Structure 1
Amino acid sequence: MVLLFLRQPPDPKLPIANLPSVVEVDRENASVDDLVNAIRLPTNLSRSRIKIFLASSKTVLVPDSPLNAYDLHDGTRVLVKDLGPQLSRRTLLMTAYSGPVFIHILFYYCQSWIYGSNFQHTASQIVAFTLINLHFAKRMFETMFVHVFFRITVSFYSVYFYILHYWILSGFFMAYYIYYPSCVGSPSMSAIVGSSSSSKSIANGICSSSVSLLSSSADTEETSLYFLSAVWIFAELSNFETHLILANMRLRFPRSTMPSRNVLVRRAGGDPSSQSYNLRSLSSASQLASTMVSYSARRIPKGYGFDWVSCPNYFFELVAWTMIALITRSFASLLFLTASAMQMWRKAVRKHEMYKKEFGTQYPKFRKVLIPYIK
């Protein structure tokens, strides 16, 4: 048994009322969930709102992981943070990824209602429509069957960012300009890359393709589409492989196999015997048997792509979206690619620094952040 001192971070945005000052836990048999329950009962906070981390190292205590995986001893200071209203991560991601699929289908098939005329889509528009929907279908499949999340909830307020990024930028904004019936009337990358392709009027029912990398000839256009699509397929399959590697790094086991756990909570001061009480895991046997949880000690990711950069999943996704931007030659696609690159770069730098701090000299020095051999 060890005594842990619970504190809130300095100047917390959401102060926690009735937070226990001292918690006594069985380090060998208890889990982080037991500690969360000890905090949840007196504070009336939901489990998803509670974040626990060590005051000394800022190491986060992962839900459902055993306490003996962490450096805990008598007197260890543990910080408790109220994360605010939470939303299921899978629900949020499924909502974010399904939005663009519906929006692109709407703009692709409802031509007369949106653009005021029926017209024939170009080869580049057809390919872009197919690849974009396949990408988000893949993301939804990964969310449901591949990804293993250490924290299964996210802040409720993050939904606004996801709606802006996926529904607005990759949804309405990209779809409107990618499937626009006249290449002259829509912002195009043709001015940047110097494409010589000409456009036809809506009345003719045809929008000339601007996918050609060198000229407007049909042969060059078809060759470009094949090449860009092949690179896109390679990038998406590579991205999927890196997600499998990350998921397989985490050991899965049924929660019902975990040993019986007890936690003693005691407020500081007074007679300990009169202010201590016993807490047991509150989940029912049926919930324990039906719930799968994940935990493993953090390890250095290795394998396909990880020998080059810390976040190859981000790198391959950016390659895929670059191919779509070249296929569509739309400023909308370029804007979404830029926004995605900035976001992924920020997350990749943070993860790279976390790896170096956690593993020290064991982490490969030659491994870059996001772009192989460059940065």
Structure 2
Amino acid sequence: MKITVTSRNPNSKAFPLTLELAGSPTTVTIDTLSDAIHKKLPKYYPDRQRVTTEDKRVLERGKNKSLADYGIKDEEVTLYFKDLGPQIGWRTVFLIEYFGPLIFHPLFYHLSALFYRSTFNHSTMQTVTYYLAILHFAKRELETLYIHRFSHGTMPFTNVFKNSAHYWILSGANLAFWVYGPWFAEGTTMSERSEVWIWGCVAVWAWAQLSNLATHVTLRNLRPPGTRSRAIPYGYGFDLVSCPNYFFEIVAWGAICVLTLSWSAVLFTVVATGQMYLWAIKKHKQYYKEFKNYPRSRKALFPFIA
């Protein structure tokens, strides 16, 4: 069949591109088309492409769908191309994001005399918070390497700076600076916490982190290696909400807020909760749209609420 690929950018010099592909709309897959574009124009590797029909339906790769699945029936067709720009793998993005706090927390904690221009002993609250923060982001790095399987391979490279700012600034430099400062040092009124207070927060944090890990393992097991398949998750946490991994993440950071009583921890938690709520609503709607038998009693993020 004959496919004419034209760019939605009127200034593009690489398009229109004419492809002659063996087969018919029922046998030519989206991956075949994407690979053919890449072969003709090596600059536009598959993850950098967005190809749509005239009515702007996106032809999705990795789902083993043919052109006919998107309503294309003619042996000659015109499709539309958009350059998504240089891409970066999601796994790499996550590793970069979580690495920031692993730099800033040790710097402010161990080099406090340099940053605060004074010498003091860290309080129990500061020390406990430090180790909880390090364990949290080390866990996230290990999950990225060994547990997560991503439904989307890449994202635009420029987005890595925006995404990383959330972690490097809010949960990295900002949180570390205000929590490990002399105002929370040993012997100060602001650092006073009972053992029940401290270890109660640690217990809630640990439960939330282990619960978060369990939900990540459940999601991993739904997606065979090398695929982007989706299925309905069931089990611990998922009987109540569509995104229990986000819910347990919020609980863990809520415990740190109570432990530190720091506005910097509250700021990060509020911003993170808002973002995770938006993600949860989007995923919740996708589940309803994709699976007709999706449990109607589930909420998106907060059990019994929303």
Query: Normalization by structure 2: what TM-score?
Result: 0.86
Shift of 1:8: 6.5
Shift of 1:70: 8.7
Counterpart position of 2:209: 236
Cα deviations by residue, 1:288-315 (Å, 9 ceiling, x for unpaired): xxxxx2243x222222211111111111
The answer to whether the 8 A contact 1:50-1:80 is kept is yes
Shift of 1:27: 8.0
Cα deviations by residue, 1:72-131 (Å, 9 ceiling, x for unpaired): 575288664321111122222111111101110000000111111221111111111011
CA distance in 2, matches of 1:25, 1:149: 31
Counterpart position of 1:47: 46
* Range with greater deviation from structure 2 (164-173 or 43-52): 43-52
Identity of aligned residues (%): 36
If asked which structure has higher relative contact order (CA below 8 Å, sep 6+), I would say 1
Provide closer, same or farther for how the CA distance between residues 182 and 249 of structure 1 changes in structure 2, counting only shifts above 3 A. same
CA distance in 1, matches of 2:125, 2:61: 46
Q: Secondary structure at the match of 1:366?
A: coil
Counterpart position of 1:152: 153
Shift of 1:236: 0.7
Q: Secondary structure at the match of 1:305?
A: coil
Q: Secondary structure at the match of 2:231?
A: coil
The answer to whether the 8 A contact 1:14-1:84 is kept is no
Shift of 1:37: 1.0
The one of 322, 333, 341 aligned to 2:273: 341
CA distance in 1, matches of 2:162, 2:228: 28
Shift of 1:68: 6.3
The one of 258, 261, 267 aligned to 1:329: 261
CA distance in 2, matches of 1:119, 1:27: 72
Shift of 1:324: 0.8
CA distance in 1, matches of 2:10, 2:97: 27
Cα deviations by residue, 1:146-179 (Å, 9 ceiling, x for unpaired): 1111322211111121231011111111000000
Q: Secondary structure at the match of 1:301?
A: coil
The answer to whether the 8 A contact 2:6-2:80 is kept is yes
The one of 18, 23, 47 aligned to 2:16: 18
Q: Secondary structure at the match of 1:66?
A: coil
One-letter amino acid matched to 1:102: I
One-letter amino acid matched to 1:294: T
Counterpart position of 2:300: 369
Query: Normalization by structure 1: what TM-score?
Result: 0.71
The answer to whether the 8 A contact 1:242-1:313 is kept is yes
The answer to whether the 8 A contact 2:4-2:16 is kept is no
Q: Which runs of 5+ in 1 are unaligned?
A: 184-201, 213-220, 253-292
Counterpart position of 2:199: 226
Q: Which runs of 5+ in 2 are unaligned?
A: none
Shift of 1:5: 5.7
Provide closer, same or farther for how the CA distance between residues 147 and 40 of structure 1 changes in structure 2, counting only shifts above 3 A. same
Counterpart position of 1:186: none
Q: Secondary structure at the match of 2:168?
A: helix
Q: Secondary structure at the match of 1:148?
A: coil
Q: CA RMSD in A?
A: 3.0
CA distance in 2, matches of 1:112, 1:85: 42
Provide closer, same or farther for how the CA distance between residues 57 and 236 of structure 1 changes in structure 2, counting only shifts above 3 A. farther
